[in-house]
Amino acid sequence: MDFLIGDVQGCCDALERLFDQIGFSPSRDHVWVLGDLVNRGPQSLATLRRLKDLGSAAGCLLGNHDLHLLAVAEGAHKHKRQDTLADILDAADRETLLDWLRQQRLAAFDHGWLLVHAGVAPQWDRETTLALAAEVETELRGSARGEFLRAMYGNSPARWSEHLRGADRLRFVVNALTRMRFCDAKGRLEFETKDAAASALPGYMPWFEVPGRLTAGTPIAFGHWSVLGLIDTPELLSLDTGCVWGGSLTAVRVDGGRREVMQVRCAQARVPGR
């Protein structure tokens, strides 16, 4: 059986209970975790170790919190007050875990679903999304990853162009795949608004509602946007159901037949400073 799981964010106890609920067996099943494996929750180290130990039975996307961990570990960005990453950074096996994390994907396509952490720019089709994700993955695994991670932060450029090169190109790809919620009809990203879809600024809308987006008709599963809650339609799965904020951790079976949604409530205490 094949499952998709939303943002874990260091809530390893909830992940274990979800595995129990779905009857997950690494010898038989496969799971994709849609990014933000770590941070804000209390068990980031345990979460990384658990997912790494699943080997080929698990695929993980990189979310903005996972990229932040890699940047902090590389000395490319400062540790934030609300981060819960110290257990990883102080662990004896940190380099093994960080190297494993760098091998994970920013986008994937499996069982007919395009998988991303946050969203897809409206100018991209499925093939373009996967190709651009691969460009960032190559940078993360290369010897110049520190330079890339230092240049990764920032909100510009706000709109995709095929003519973008270098740090601007990579930054836009990262922002779209790991941070975006709202954009306008021309694909200009807007990062200040983080609330529900109805809170969009004038002229902006959720990225999946942009008219004429090139992934229309391609089923997409994503996380990142906890206030949306669960969206379960034939062409859209939103699976960040706010586990770390006192909500649920959600899994969806996607390997054919009747789609099944399974959830466990998260018993972890919310970390202040969302």
Model confidence over 87-110: pLDDT tens digits? Answer: 999 999 999 999 999 999 999 999
pLDDT of residue 268: 59
pLDDT of residue 259: 84
Reading the block at residue 173, the tokens are 């790809």
Interval 37-56: pLDDT, tens: 999 999 999 999 999 999 99
- pLDDT of residue 274 exceeding 60, the answer is no
Q: What is the mean pLDDT of residues 197-201?
A: 93
pLDDT of residue 271: 45
Nearest to 136 by CA among 122, 156, 111, 116: 116
pLDDT of residue 129: 98
CA distance linking residue 185 with residue 210, whole number of Å: 6
Contact 145, 36 (CB under 8 A): no
Q: What is the mean pLDDT of residues 63-77?
A: 97
Strand-pairing partners, residue 221, are: 115, 237
Interval 204-258: pLDDT, tens: 999 999 999 999 999 999 999 999 999 999 999 999 999 999 999 999 999 976 7
CA distance linking residue 163 with residue 20, whole number of Å: 48
- pLDDT of residue 126 exceeding 50, the answer is yes
- pLDDT of residue 272 exceeding 80, the answer is no
Reading the block at residue 121, the tokens are 């720019």
pLDDT of residue 11: 97
Contact 182, 189 (CB under 8 A): yes
Domains of the chain, by residue range, sit at 2-265
> What dotted CATH number matches 2-265?
3.60.21.10
- What is the pLDDT confidence band of residue 273, given thresholds at 50, 70 and 90? very low
